[in-house]
Amino acid sequence: MRRDAERVLIGVDAGATHTTAAIADARGTVLVRAQGGPGAVRPGDAAGAAERIRAACADALGKAFRDVRGDVLVVGAAGAGREEERLALQAALEATRLAPRVVVTTDGVIALQAAFGDGAGVVLLAGTGSIAWARLPSGETVRVGGLGAALGDLGSGYDLGRRALRAVGLALEGMDRATDLTERVLARLHLGGLDALVRWTVTADVPRIAALGADVLELAAAGDPVAAGIADAAADDLARHVRALAGRWPRGAAVRVALGGGLLARSGDYRERVVARIVADVPDAKIGTEPVDAVLGAVHLARTL
């Protein structure tokens, strides 16, 4: 048995598009990271999510130590806010024998930990999907969003892609103007026109639609009017998440806000649009300048176990 000073910690941020696994020493110093496939847990797919998480962890462990198990594994997974899915993922991960101690929690819990430690604040996450989590001054944890593609995910990559497809369809029908966005989407999907676009949308899944979000944001930053309009509307929706949670703070109290998720980390222009709308909606907001590195929250939690 390894001494406490020799413990190997594994922290995982499991999202809808990719999984990040970090290996850390007993002090919480990250030694190596690895990327894997989508680790978000969905109803009936705990085994699949666990296998993708296991693969990312095994890759990271191999880079750090060759063949060694961890001592503690903490996974923050999208979709784990539902207790049935959380327990199913935990059981599936325990069966992988990555570590004798396994804890599965939500992506929001590890993001809050990374951003604020044990303090109060709001974390807004936007990637393939979107959600905002808050730890209130009372210590209670609450959320807004995270309802999935059919009901929510406003301001996410999927939302941007869906809006772009609708705009392109309208342009091709002559009901709205065609811009560079129209050409970009058709070229990205290797499509020749409206009929092909309709056929593509019938079978397109959430990740494929969400992948168009990056094109929307690139063109919005370059001044494409339709793309910019989509980005502005999506930024408004993300800011509404923060406004809803900030209303739980005492009047006049400062509300610390952190932004995370791949979409906000990659696009500075979109981040600026979102920040501007949060400031307008929540004058007492104190917004962090660096994107949240949620996997560090998982590592910190692992260190405390």
- 133: pLDDT confidence band, cut at 50, 70 and 90? very high
Q: Is the pLDDT of residue 2 over 60?
A: no
Instruction: Mark residue 79 as left, alpha or beta (left: phi above 0; alpha: psi -120 to 50; beta: remaining).
Output: left
Write phi, then psi, for 221 (nearest 5 degrees). Answer: -65, -30
- 1: pLDDT confidence band, cut at 50, 70 and 90? very low
Q: Where are the domains of the chain?
A: 4-114+294-304
Q: How many Cβ atoms sit within 10 Å of the Cβ of residue 126?
A: 33
131 is written with which tokens?
Answer: 């959600």
Q: Is the pLDDT of residue 135 over 50?
A: yes
Average pLDDT over residues 8-25: 93
Query: What's the pLDDT score for residue 152?
Result: 84
- 157: pLDDT confidence band, cut at 50, 70 and 90? very high
Cα 157 to Cα 217: distance, rounded to the nearest angstrom? 9
Residue 8 burial by Cβ neighbours in a 10 Å radius (0-12, 13-18, 19+): buried
Query: What's the pLDDT score for residue 290?
Result: 86
Helix axes 46-65, 83-96, angle to 10 degrees: 40
Could you tell me the pTM of the whole model? 0.88
- 65: pLDDT confidence band, cut at 50, 70 and 90? confident
Q: Which percentage of the chain shows pLDDT scores above 90? A: 80
Considering the domain delimited by 4-114+294-304, tell me its CATH architecture: 2-Layer Sandwich (3.30)
Q: Is the pLDDT of residue 87 over 90?
A: yes
Average pLDDT over residues 255-259: 96
Average pLDDT over residues 256-285: 93
pLDDT tens-digit series, residues 161-201: 999 999 999 999 999 889 999 999 999 999 999 999 999 99
